[in-house]
Amino acid sequence: MHRRFWADYSIKRRLSIAYIAFILIPFCLLSVHSYIQTSTFQSKQTASNLEQTLSVQKNGIEAKLNLVESISHNITYNTRLQNFLSEPFNNQSDTFDLYRQIIHPIVSYSLLYNQVEISNIKIYMSNHSIPEGFGSFYHDTAVLDEPWYVHFLEAKQRSAWYSLPGEDSYIYLQKIISMEGKYLGVSRVTVLKPNLFASLTDLPNQSPAVYVIDAEGYLQYGSTVESLTKEISQNSLSKETFEYKGHLYVLEQLERLNMRIGITAPLASSWSSFQLLTTLGFIAAIVLSILLFYQVLKMTFIKIKASIRAMDHSIRAGFTELVPVERNDEIGVISEKFNTLLVRISSLVNDMVTRETVHKDAQLKALQAQINPHFIYNTINLFSAKAEIGGLYDVSEAFAEFGQMLRYNMNSQSHYATVQQEISHVQSYIGLQKLRYGDRLHFTWTCDPELLDFKMIRFILQPVVENSITHGMKNRDKLHINLVIEQKNERELGILLHDNGCGVSMSKLRQLNERFRSGDQRDQPSSLEDGSGIGLENINNRLRLFYGESFFIKMQSDEGHFTKTVLNLPYINRMEGYCDAGSSDCG
């Protein structure tokens, strides 16, 4: 359907379509691809710059978190503090002095000498014998009802960050555990969000906006409170980079705070506009070239149509008038070739009439030639009947066997026959030979009934049997020939012909097997073929020709005792047999 639709188009339209399909569209696609690649590169470049800026901001926040954790570690793992919290408190003055002069400065000095503005440091003690005081030491009963404290005690980790929305701050908690593994309390370091994220507000006015959102997508800190829509929040939670309404967003995870820090900047539009205008101009130039191309085609095909009208007139005139040639270009060449074709057509018509006459004569001769073989076959049957009436039963039987062989030879419409047909042909030949040798010749055969419908090329077995009789009867009173046909495997059928004749010498046997294996036909036929009719050489060549070079005759012999002839054929059952062009059993 598509080919007919295309064939209905004129050449001018085909060339126009081809020009559009193979020149215009590819160049347009190339332009679009270039535009997309440029835009993608610009987005990637912007994203790379934003990632670098965001990485600096994130590293600054991470550095502050590390300092807070370091201060907490110095307090939590202080040996004096752990020993103080693990022992019962007594009211002696030296114990108060230790509390005031040694233990409390561990916390108070940590507030003074650091690079992070820490709001406060508190110790919640499980040892209630120690009095609360100094604004840093409290009993854990003060925070037993706090959700963050309950959650932290139930958790397996020894330290964690928590957000206190009501206080606009973050706290870093650590469990104080003695060297013996005894739980002593919890240390808490509080950092206000403005202090932790101070670097986000110190960016210049033209710098990209940086913001921080929590796990639910709510803005925790940044300068984009008004522009952080629901769509931006959702994308910020699920994507590392995305574009939204002309802005590019890049985000990274703050693992310890369970938050995401993002940065956004508007995408530049000037370069994209320039690319778009360039692409549109390029497409406009291509469209203009199409119009010019179409006009050139139109002028050319006006001349072509004039030549076509001249050719059409010549055809209507019966191929007798030649087309006038007035040009030297391709159109003129077409006219010259058309004139040559007219002359050739006239010659071919005359040749066709002559060949048709010869073909009919050949058919008549072929039909007449079929009468002669059938006449010979019927005459042989007449001789057989006459010999039987005269009591010459062996002669009558020999005539009948010869008639069967003649019928088998005449039925040559196919190159192939079944095993049953080949065996019957051999039996007819043996019956004919018994007229000469009588009881001196004995033939037996064995074949699985399932293999009788096996397809093989014709005239294979009889020449091999003929060769055994011709050479096996030399210096022998009796000759026994045994034919065995069996299936070797799923792909091959084996044929073994054994006779107790005079055999072949070892040197001659090697020569024959080498000739059969190589298929060499340059030398004269071997002596085994003398008087053997078709001969083993012919059989071997036909096996290699029909089945391939891996199928050939193999012979085994012991001079003076026996000869074995082995043939292997590819297994083809009656349902999947070969079928040549001339076979009558081709479906």
- Does the pLDDT at position 369 exceed 60? no
Residue labelled with tokens 């012979």: 555
d(CA 440, CA 491): 38
Mean pLDDT of all residues belonging to the chain: 79
d(CA 397, CA 382): 12
Cβ neighbors of 214 (< 8 A, separation 6 or more) are 163, 220, 258, 259
- Does the pLDDT at position 448 exceed 80? yes
pTM over 0.85: no
Closest to 384 measured CA to CA, from 375, 392, 374: 392
The mean pLDDT of 129-147, rounded to a whole number, is 91
pLDDT of residue 576: 45
In this structure, the dihedral spanned by the alpha carbons of residues 50, 56, 59 and 60, taken in order and rounded to 10 degrees, is -130
Most confident of 37-46, 380-389, 506-515: 506-515
| Burial class of residue 447 (count of CB atoms within 10 Å of its CB; 0-12, 13-18, 19+) | middle
Residue 395 amino acid letter: V
Question: How confident is the model over 256-273, as pLDDT tens digits?
Answer: 888 888 888 877 655 556
d(CA 293, CA 151): 79
In a 13 Å sphere around the CA of 277, the CA atoms on its Cβ side amount to 6
- Does the pLDDT at position 205 exceed 50? yes
Closest to 411 measured CA to CA, from 424, 430, 395: 424
Task: Specify whether the CB–CB gap between 172 and 72 falls below 8 A.
Answer: yes
The mean pLDDT of 113-121, rounded to a whole number, is 79
d(CA 236, CA 321): 84
DSSP line for 451-480: GTT-EEESSSHHHHHHHHHHHHTTT-S-EE
C-alpha distances in angstroms, 391 versus 232, 300, 350, 437? 118, 95, 64, 20
CATH architecture of 77-196: 2-Layer Sandwich (3.30)
Task: Specify whether the CB–CB gap between 78 and 210 falls below 8 A.
Answer: no
The mean pLDDT of 236-244, rounded to a whole number, is 75
**Interior CA angle at 539 toward 511 and 436, to 5°?**
95
CB atoms within 10 A of CB 63: 13
Backbone angles phi, psi at 531, to 5 degrees: 75, 10
CB atoms within 10 A of CB 220: 19
Q: CA 169 from chain center: how many Å?
A: 59
Task: Specify whether the CB–CB gap between 185 and 123 falls below 8 A.
Answer: yes
What are the residue boundaries of the structural domains of the chain, listed by start? 77-196, 414-570
The mean pLDDT of 369-378, rounded to a whole number, is 56
77-196 and 414-570 have identical folds: no
**Interior CA angle at 540 toward 536 and 543, to 5°?**
140
Handedness of CA 194, 197, 203, 208 (dihedral sign): negative
Confidence band (pLDDT; 50, 70, 90) for 535?
confident
Domain 414-570 has CATH 3.40.50.800: no
Provide, rounded to the nearest whole percent, the portion of the chain with pLDDT above 90: 26
In this structure, are strands 562-570 and 259-266 parallel, antiparallel, or unpaired?
A: unpaired
Residue 9 amino acid letter: Y
C-alpha distances in angstroms, 207 versus 54, 57, 224, 266? 11, 12, 13, 11
**Interior CA angle at 419 toward 413 and 422, to 5°?**
65
